């Protein structure tokens, strides 16, 4: 993605917003919650700038405003610990 955005493209396929941008946004957004991503993202300034442009659009802003606050899913953490293979 960083390479695709390099020559200062506003969006993934050029200057026009496309479905490709909306397809990638949820994955990039969700990955951003991982501590690993927070460490990695600064190395990819074009992706960070693209995400900021995307998040500033009316449709993503409206959608994000309807979502509940994001926090750890405690029951998922407990499930993972209880379902690890025992060797």
Q: What is the pLDDT of residues 43-53, one digit of tens each?
A: 999 999 999 99
The Cα 44–Cα 1 span in angstroms is 9
The per-residue pLDDT for range 57-67, each reduced to its tens digit, is 999 999 989 98
In the predicted model, is pLDDT for residue 18 greater than 80? yes
72 confidence band (pLDDT: 50, 70, 90): low
Q: What are phi and psi of 11, to 5 degrees?
A: -135, 175
Closest CA to 50 of 36, 32, 69, 67: 32
C-alpha to C-alpha distance for 3 and 46, rounded to whole angstroms: 8
The answer to pTM > 0.95 is: no
Tokens of 11: 């969006």
Other CB atoms within 10 Å distance of the CB of residue 70: 10
Q: Where are the domains of the chain?
A: 2-82
């Amino acid at each position: 993605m960083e390479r695709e955005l390099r020559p200062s493209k506003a969006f993934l396929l050029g200057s026009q917003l496309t479905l490709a941008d909306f397809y990638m946004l949820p994955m990039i957004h969700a990955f951003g919650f991982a501590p690993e991503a927070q460490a990695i993202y600064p190395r990819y300034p074009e992706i960070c700038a693209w995400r900021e442009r995307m998040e500033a659009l009316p449709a993503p802003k409206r959608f994000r405003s309807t979502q509940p606050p994001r926090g750890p899913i405690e029951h998922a953490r407990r499930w993972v610990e209880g379902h690890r293979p025992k060797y």
